[in-house]
Homo-oligomer: A and B are copies of this chain.
Amino acid sequence: MTLYLNLAELLGARIEQGLYRPGQRLPSVRALSVEHGVSLSTVQQAYRMLEDSGMVSPRPKSGYFVSEGRHLPALPAVSRPAQRPVDISQWEQVLELVRSTPRQDVMQLGRGMPDINSPTLKPLLRSLAQLSRRQDMPGLYYDNIHGNLALREQIARLTLDSGCRLSPADLVVTTGCHEALSCSIRAVCEPGDIVAVDSPSFHGAMQTLKGLGMKALEIPTDPVTGISLEALELALEQWPIKLIQITPSCNNPLGYIMPEARKKALLSLAQRYDVAILEDDVYGDLAYTYPRPRTLKSFDDDGRVLLCSSFSKTLAPGLRIGWVAPGRYLERVLHMKYISTGSTASQPQLAIADFIKAGHYQPHVRRMRSQYQRSRDLMSDWVTRYFPPGTRVSRPQGGFMLWVELPEHFDTLRLNRALLEQGVQIAVGSIFSASGKFRHCLRMNFAALPTPSIEAAVRKVGETALRLLDQDDACA
């Protein structure tokens, strides 16, 4: 662990133990720097981390204070999955979720939709319309199998922000991040192989493992710092793991950003045990901090990281444009891409390339991430207000998903059924586990600009959960 993490942990523990009380002034940056023999910027980083987690707040010119006003709900527990490879289940629950069509009459809190109503997205639509009107109809041809060159140039430029130095030739454009994931997994693994995953983990990636005949080994994961390296190392000792599949930046569903030092440590582990890493960075550009976190890929010097992403969360999912930087697996990934869908749709590739080249990407993403950060706070407040006492809530550092943990024996499948009658849909927790754990958890989307009807929907979720809990108590 790096110094600032150590320090943040220490201060956090002191606050929780009541050594410093709500509203009390904390030691100055300078004092802590002397006390712990670390640099000023290390202390500042530690304070910023505590600030992000809501424990402290800065006051201009007078330093840091223990937060008092808003009471932050407790974080979800560190996950404790079964420590052996399992066959993946839960397809029926996932199907129920992805089978749903956008509908006016249902508030779909369960899906992975970003907000697509920002005016900063307009140039993209204009570009799509213009392409459809061009005489030479570039959108109608098969493009080459690597993907459109202009788009790959722009993607290479964007990844500089996460510390990567990629050239267009290192990239393969795909039909969404989904295809990047499935081509990557197939490029590295054979059916029957074991893949280590963070837990909870994106259902799409897990269903991919299932469909390709692999086994998932779920690793305990901390809701703030991510996959447990200790548990992962034990697992690497014990099992012939081929691939580590992980979403370290703005994790779905937990929202954490794995600290940089842990990212580096994860990469060393992978090198030591000679396994590949599939890094899903689909929410990475939506980190609330600036500059955005570095990718594992940016530290990778021997091509073992396959970095997968898409424009589904930053721009719009209906375009289905993603990409992968497969490192040493490039040739295999290309073959898998060819057999999966042939070349990728031309028009959305060209439109996105135009959009980025004209400088529209950064302002759009900047706007979205501050919108999402504000909505996160509001959504957390609503959960605190309307959900049963004892509910735990994630504190996302990016993206637009909230993970909610209800009392241990609660059944969110039942909750979801009761909610559908009321026109509200959530994502049940069990689909984020290979073996159907997290039945007492759920995921909600806070991408849309907050409205009274969204608040009302969240309230319905909370109140229905309360009602079901009361029923259970009455029966017990």
Q: Given A101-B149, A339-B208, decide whether A318 and B95 contact each other with a Cβ distance below 8 A.
A: no
Q: Given A129-B133, A140-B116, decide whether A94 and B318 contact each other with a Cβ distance below 8 A.
A: no
Q: How many identical subunits does the complex contain?
A: 2
Chain A contact surface mostly: helix
Q: Is the CB of B335 within 8 A of A320?
A: no
CA A132 to CA B141, docked complex, whole Å: 19
Q: Is the CB of A145 within 8 A of B102?
A: no
Bits for A2-24, please: 1 = Cβ < 8 Å to B, else 0.
00000000000000000000000
Bits for A85-97, please: 1 = Cβ < 8 Å to B, else 0.
0000001001100
Q: Is the CB of A345 within 8 A of B342?
A: no
Looking at A174-182, A229-237, A356-364, A406-414, the stretch in contact with chain B turns out to be: A174-182
Within the complex, the shortest CB–CB distance from A186 to chain B, in Å, comes to: 7
Q: Is the CB of A342 within 8 A of B99?
A: no
Interface size class of A (residues with CB under 8 A): 35 or more
Q: Is the CB of A144 within 8 A of B341?
A: no
Q: Is the CB of A175 within 8 A of B175?
A: yes
- Neighbouring B residues of A317 by C-beta, 8 Å: 140-142, 343
Q: Is the CB of B345 within 8 A of A98?
A: no
Query: Is A378 positioned at the interface, with any CB of B under 8 Å from its CB?
Result: no
Q: Given A101-B149, A128-B132, A141-B116, decide whether A91 and B335 contact each other with a Cβ distance below 8 A.
A: yes
- Neighbouring B residues of A341 by C-beta, 8 Å: 174-176, 178-179, 182, 320, 340-341
Bits for A112-145, please: 1 = Cβ < 8 Å to B, else 0.
1100110001000110110011000111111111
Q: Is the CB of B116 within 8 A of A336?
A: no
Within the complex, the shortest CB–CB distance from A315 to chain B, in Å, comes to: 8
Query: Is A334 positioned at the interface, with any CB of B under 8 Å from its CB?
Result: yes
CA A139 to CA B348, docked complex, whole Å: 11
- Neighbouring B residues of A312 by C-beta, 8 Å: 142
* CB contact between A336 and one of B132, B211, B320, B343 (< 8 Å): that residue: B211
CA A138 to CA B341, docked complex, whole Å: 23
Within the complex, the shortest CB–CB distance from A137 to chain B, in Å, comes to: 6
- A residues 155-179 near B (Cβ < 8 Å) are 174-176, 178-179
Interface centre among A111, A132, A348 (most CB of B within 10 A): A132
* CB contact between A204 and one of B140, B204, B339 (< 8 Å): that residue: B339
Within the complex, the shortest CB–CB distance from A361 to chain B, in Å, comes to: 16
Q: Is the CB of A179 within 8 A of B140?
A: no
- Neighbouring B residues of A338 by C-beta, 8 Å: 94-95, 98, 178, 204, 207, 211
Q: Is the CB of A207 within 8 A of B139?
A: no
Residue pairs across A and B with Cβ atoms less than 8 A apart, 9 shown, are A117-B137, A121-B140, A128-B128, A128-B132, A138-B318, A142-B312, A174-B341, A176-B341, A176-B342
> Which 7 residue pairs across A and B have the least CB separation, nearest first?
A140-B316, A129-B132, A318-B346, A178-B342, A128-B132, A208-B339, A211-B339
